[in-house]
Amino acid sequence: MSDRALNQARGRLIVAWATVAIFLGVLALLATRVAGGQDPALRARAAAAPLPPRRVLVRRILEKRVIVHLPPSAPAQPTQASQQVSAPGGYPSSLPVTRTS
């Protein structure tokens, strides 16, 4: 092997060793940071903008009921079967009643 060929082989070997050394150096640096809780991927996610809170629509259904409790009392007297009234005023003598018939 000539001197020139030896020099070329030595140069390639140096480049290869240098590449491996740089790779191992960077790998060691990253491993150290990950071990220290400084995972860049996790940090990027944590640094992202927080999600907006979910909106929950609450509908309240109101049902109005009026319950009237009546005190017990005697039944009303039935209407007189036949009667006629002519009143001078503008209103009847007794109010009309809606009832079961």
State the residues that interact with other proteins by CB under 8 A. 64-70, 72-93, 95-101
Which pair of tokens denotes residue 73?
């009392």
| Sequence-ordered list of residues with C-beta below 8 angstroms from that of 17, at least 6 positions apart, any chain | none
Q: How far is the CB of 100 from other proteins (least distance, A)?
A: 3
Work out how close the CB of 73 gets to other proteins at its nearest, in angstroms, rounded to a whole number: 5
C-beta closer to other proteins: residue 2 or 101: 101
CB of 71 to other proteins, least distance (A): 9
> Residue 69 CA to chain centroid, in angstroms?
44
57 vs 87, which CB is nearer to other proteins?
A: 87
Total residue count of the chain as it appears in this document:
101
Nearer to other proteins, 2 or 98 (CB): 98
Phi, psi of 14 (to 5 degrees): -65, -45
